[in-house]
């Protein structure tokens, strides 16, 4: 890699919002580290090809964000190879939706382990190198339901509310080291995660959005691009909502 290239690690980068962020970030001035944990590599490999076509240096990084030792080993290896990580985008997440009275313990644990513990695992491992270099940008992908709640998503809402609290706390810890830590809270975005919803549920969501439409992953990626740019250097500890007016 060229010494002036910026090193960006994106978790859950193979599809949806993560893929859109990778495509937005892709240019000859960056090294993109594309984490995924899909059972098959097809989507990750396609994302890799697409960002390389835009001139970026890129690497697929297959590891489970919920496994602390695995995260630590993988990220330390990347730091040894590339020298630094300038930007961390904690995007990996899952849903296991059902009403609380029907929710299985494993559905609670799985969602919390990826959506919240995964953010802790990746951030703690990366933050040490950012503190040493006295610079860095971290963006955590939360959700509108972390702020407003949603029936049938107690596990998901709790995990994303946790991400919001985590973001604010870490931002205070590292602000003096010129590291900015922010969260974004997407609303109803057109991704593979929302594509499985029935048309009736989809229409119910749309009726509650003042703008009358769902958001695009590319629109979320634009917000992330701003937050990791020098234009956001005086913004930290914030939760920026992108939801078409669903929650104000």
Which alpha helices (H) appear in the chain, and where do they start and end? 16-25, 42-53, 68-82, 105-112, 118-133, 145-148, 154-174, 192-195, 199-207, 217-227
Considering the candidates 37, 62, 156, 247, report the single residue annotated as catalytic.
156
Distance, CA of 85 to CA of 142 (rounded, Å): 21
Tokens of 243: 């939801």
Distance, CA of 193 to CA of 12 (rounded, Å): 12
Rg, Å, the chain Cα set: 17
Q: How many CA atoms lie within 13 A of 19 on its CB side?
A: 17
Laid out side by side, the sheet with 87-90 consists of: 57-62, 30-36, 6-10, 87-90, 136-141, 179-186, 239-242
156 as an active site residue: the answer is yes
Catalytic residues: 156
């Amino acid at each position: 890699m060229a010494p002036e290239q910026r090193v960006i690690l994106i978790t859950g980068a193979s599809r949806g919002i993560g893929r859109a962020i990778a495509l937005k970030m892709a240019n000859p001035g960056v090294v993109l580290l594309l984490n995924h944990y899909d059972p098959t590599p097809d989507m990750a490999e396609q994302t890799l090809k697409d960002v390389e076509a835009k001139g970026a240096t890129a690497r697929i990084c297959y590891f489970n964000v919920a496994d602390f030792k695995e995260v630590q080993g993988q990220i330390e290896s990347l730091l040894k190879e590339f020298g630094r990580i300038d930007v961390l985008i904690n995007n990996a997440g899952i849903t296991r939706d059902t009403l609380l009275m029907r929710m299985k313990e494993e559905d609670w644990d799985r969602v919390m382990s990826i959506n919240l513990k995964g953010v802790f695992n990746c951030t703690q491992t990366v933050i040490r190198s950012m503190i040493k270099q006295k610079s860095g940008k971290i963006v955590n992908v939360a959700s509108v339901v972390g702020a407003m709640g949603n029936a049938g998503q107690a596990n998901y809402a709790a995990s994303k509310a946790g991400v919001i609290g985590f973001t604010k706390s870490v931002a205070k810890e590292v602000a003096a080291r010129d590291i900015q830590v922010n969260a974004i809270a997407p609303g109803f975005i057109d991704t593979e995660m929302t594509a499985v919803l029935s048309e009736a549920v989809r229409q119910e969501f749309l009726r509650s959005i003042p703008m009358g439409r769902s958001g695009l992953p590319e629109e979320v990626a634009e917000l992330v691009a701003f937050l990791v740019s020098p234009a956001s250097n005086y913004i930290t500890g914030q939760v920026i909502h992108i939801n078409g007016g669903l929650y104000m």
